[in-house]
Amino acid sequence: EDNDLPGPDEPVDFDEGPFITTGYGPDGETVEYYNFDVQPTAPAPIYVLFREGEDEPVEDQLNIVSTIPGDDGYNDFWQVHHVTVPSEYEANTVTSAGQIMDGDYDIEATDTIKNCPIVPDGSTASERWGDGTADLVEGWYEGEVVSYFVFDADTLTSSSGSVPLSPIYVSFNTNPGEDGGGPASGFMTEDGSDQTHNVVATLPDDDAYSPLWMVNVYDNADFGEVSDLDSATDANVLATDAAHVNCPVVHRE
């Protein structure tokens, strides 16, 4: 079936629908967020190499991941692990997690979690909250170069080892439980507009912000009444915690 979506490993333009959504912030601000995929709350490890006695990562060394999309345990959210390598280490000698494990290096798991979705090379997502780069970044996976986006405004701290969650309230063209209902029917929008009445509970400047959203689905009969967090929580919620989805907020009007 031709759904106009890119095929596997084809570049994705995340600045085009259905990959970017216009919704509301908690106070009724118009916001935009990217739609990545459903993700678990257990982050995957990303390895950052430091030479002994140095505080900055090894220059030109690509960060190393142990999973890519489709692998068990993959997550867009990465728990940063610091790997100490010898002072004479040359950049990009180590290009896989297996080499790190076999190398008897000191590995320190930090409380820092980064939102870095791995995407096909050539993909674009030009919007960022704040000053973060929109360029693709390269990393190593089993000796092969992979590409990922970095959403610096989404850097999280978690002492529990889990990715924090924040609520989002959404409505679909057809309610869940009805034929063709839920995500397959698409988000309900205003007539002739891309404006949904999906409401995020937090924004990147908020302490409680997380781009991993706990999805709550409200009755689309309440669509017209929902315009901010208070009205979203007053709506008839049909499903709570329906999914955990990576949707970084990148713009506020």
Please report the pLDDT score of residue 1 as a whole number: 42
Percent residues over pLDDT 70 in the chain:
97
Cα dihedral across residues 53, 55, 61, 64: positive or negative = positive
pLDDT, tens only, 162-192? 999 999 999 999 999 999 999 999 999 999 9
In this prediction, residues 111-134 reach a mean pLDDT of 94
Provide mean pLDDT across the span 33-40: 95
CB 223 within 8 A of CB 170: no
Q: What is the pLDDT of residue 5?
A: 64
Residues 164 and 147: their CA atoms lie apart, in Å, by 24
pLDDT at residue 154 is higher than 90: no
| Prediction pTM value | 0.93
Span 75-107, pLDDT tens digits: 999 999 999 999 999 999 999 999 999 998 999
Q: Mean pLDDT across the chain, nearest whole number?
A: 94
| pLDDT at res. 4 | 62
Q: Where are the domains positioned within the chain? A: 20-39+165-252, 44-157
* CB contact at 8 A, 245 and 115: no
Q: Kindly indicate the confidence band of residue 161, based on its pLDDT and cuts at 50, 70 and 90.
A: confident
Structure tokens at 10: 């084809």
129-135: Cβ within 8 A, 24+ apart: 129/153, 129/204, 129/248, 129/249, 129/250, 129/251, 129/252, 130/204
Q: List % helix, strand, coil for the chain (3-state, nearest 5).
A: 10, 35, 55
The residue whose two tokens read 């993959």 is 74
Which residues, in sequence order, are bridge partners of residue 22? 32, 195
End-to-end C-alpha distance for the chain, whole angstroms: 36
How far apart, in Å, are the Cα atoms of 214 and each of 153, 164, 195, 243?
Answer: 19, 10, 20, 6
Helix (H, G, I), strand (E, B) or coil at 101: helix
How far apart are the C-alpha atoms of 238 and 176, rounded to whole Å?
Answer: 8
The residue behind tokens 């993909």 is 123
